[in-house]
Amino acid sequence: MHVSLCIGAMSGGKSTYILDKERQFRKKGGLRILVIKHAIATNPGFISTHWGGSIPATSMSDLLSINMDEWDIIFIDEAHWFSDIYEWVKSNMHRHHIRVFISGLIGDKRQYKFGNLADIMPLCSHVEWKSSICEVCGDDAPFSKCRIQSDDVDLPGGMDLYYTVCHWHLDL
């Protein structure tokens, strides 16, 4: 299994990465493609970008239930929500000859590890880190911050709930 991982800040282009790769492989034709988004994520049934692009996706909360023999390529967006992502990647690494493209957040709004995406990095063939633009100064923004005070570690939501900041504006 060839695993590519795209991680980074909100609005950094992670979902766009998935849409671009899916379009690239769909054009080849004849491939069995599965597109997945976690069931907890906003806009169920679609992977959407902040710029208006979207593709249909299967909403699910358990990757271990996938029949790997049915697919040539699997795309997973919002992968930070999948608690079984490490176990799924590890158990399928050498058993299936497929390509997997995964995107999601690696850190939460407090800059702690979010889910298990950091754990799968050593299992990946390719890792790409995306950042956005700091909403305060316009510099490179690798971090996502929540606009509201909440005790929840992370709430599903888009840019109406989160914003991106650079190192300098991380503590605002």
Maximal CA-CA distance, the chain: 50
Query: How confident is the model over 52-56, as a mean pLDDT?
Result: 86
Q: Percentage of residues in the chain with pLDDT exceeding 90?
A: 60
Query: 73-128: per-residue pLDDT in tens?
Result: 999 999 999 999 999 999 998 888 899 999 998 887 778 888 899 999 999 999 99
Out of 11-20, 69-78, 87-96, 150-159, least confident range: 150-159
Residue 158 has pLDDT above 70, yes or no: no
The structural domains of the chain, ordered by start, are 2-130 (3.40.50.300)
Is there a contact between 40 and 156 (Cβ–Cβ < 8 Å)?
yes
Is there a contact between 128 and 12 (Cβ–Cβ < 8 Å)?
no
pLDDT of residue 154: 60
Determine how many CB atoms are found less than 10 A away from the CB of residue 63. Answer: 23
Residue 151 has pLDDT above 70, yes or no: no
